[in-house]
Amino acid sequence: MVTRFYNGALCDKGVLKENTTLYVDETTGVILDGSKINVNNVDKHIDLQGNVLAPGFLDIQNNGVYGFNFAIMEGSERQFTDDYQKAMTRYMSTGVTGVCPTVISADKTTYQKVLPHLGATRLSSQCDSLGVHCEGPFISLNKKGCHNPKHLIEDATKVTLADVYGNDPKEIKVVTVAPEIPGIFDQIPLMCQKGWIVSVGHTTASYQQASCAVEKGATLITHLYNAMPAPHHRKAGVVGTITLAGDKGSPTPYFGMIADGIHIDKTMVAMAYRAAPGKCILVTDTMHLYGLPDGVYNWDGQVLRKKGAVVLVDGTETLAGSATDLPSCLRNLMEWADLSLAEAVACVTNHPANVLDLEKKKGYLDPGCDADLVVLNRSGYVQKVFKLGNPVTGSKASKL
């Protein structure tokens, strides 16, 4: 069945194309080459009513939503899977159609339990997993945030990757490491050989150490500015690597930012974006408290306090992830960096697809890509979501 989207603008690659038509094959769930379509053979016509059609949003750092935590299996495997599917189905209402389920520093037993349930998917019924983001445990004790210190590994010379994550887990897509950890420079190339994306984060690394991690194969920075030294005019630190282009031939790494107005000041968000606009990726870093009422919650031996989009380790000023959503971060970036809707949308679609090497499958409106789509109004508010060309029902999004 061929579906035609018309009477709106297509948003992709940083530009809006007004009055442009998109064709989708609902049977295969992919975007079609419009030049080869006879409009007389179209089965369904969807009027965008002047709105904007963009690729579905990709959230590459997300710890859980609606009370479900990707790293915690307290009951049966069946219950974990059921709760996971419910959370991933509900999350599509925010415009996100792909997530890297994020598992923070844990022990090997936890990885072995949860990773098999979180691997990459391609489904019309729920938000896809893009592969797991293991945020640790090769991270700094001094920049651990809410990570449990008993799980941290501060010397990579004493373990193998199999000792930490199990025997060659296929579900892993991203691993966050701290470059100053002894032995990590030997581990980064091994991670890259497995097809893992190596990200620098939760670190006290200097600019030189972070740059060396990039030379070894790291291509991403985990939540820029947060859980790393503040940049100084004589000590740029990890933040300085977003200007690496041309420095000894090293490529500029992509960088995630939590643009919720809590984790980073708006001026610093704008500064980072302008330094490397093609490498900026907006992330939520949501905790499982997203979507739950404000209050105090027990988690992994700690007490967390949620108020609005703010989640803190109770009694401290330590941020424990967030409770924000990606469209809110998108609109913040538009305002703070004075961007067009299309420029900001690239940071939640094209750029995350690029860093994950998924640009032929996700995050673009090119023929052959999955028809995971979001309809936005001109201010960046979600109006409707489509997964593999099928409308997502039961969401808060308005109907077209």
Is 168 annotated in the active site? no
105, 145, 147, 346 from 320: Cα distances, Å: 13, 7, 9, 27
343: annotated binding-site residue?
no
**How far apart (Å, rounded) are the C-alpha atoms in residues 101 and 119?**
9
Residue 102 CB neighbours (<10 A)? 29
Is 4 marked as a binding-site residue? no
Any binding-site annotation on 45?
no
Known binding residue 233? Answer is no
User: What is the residue whose two structure tokens read 């002894």?
Assistant: 182
321 among annotated binding-site residues: yes
CB distance 292 to 284 below 8 Å: no
Task: Tally Cβ neighbours within 10 Å of residue 195.
Answer: 11
- Tell whether residue 227 is among the known ligand binding residues: yes
Annotated ligand binding at 167? The verdict is no
As a whole number of angstroms, the distance between CA 53 and CA 122 comes to 21
223 annotated ligand binder = yes
- 146 known ligand binder: yes
332 among the known binding-site residues? Answer: no
Do the beta carbons of residue 373 and residue 56 sit within 8 Å? Answer: yes
Catalytic choice (12, 260, 285, 370)? 285
Q: How far is CA 339 from CA 117, 193, 255, 289, 356, in A?
A: 38, 37, 18, 30, 24
Is residue 133 a known part of a binding site? no
Instruction: List binding-site positions for substrate.
Output: 146, 226-227, 234, 263, 319-321
Instruction: List binding-site positions for Zn(2+).
Output: 135, 202, 223
**What residues are labeled active site?**
285
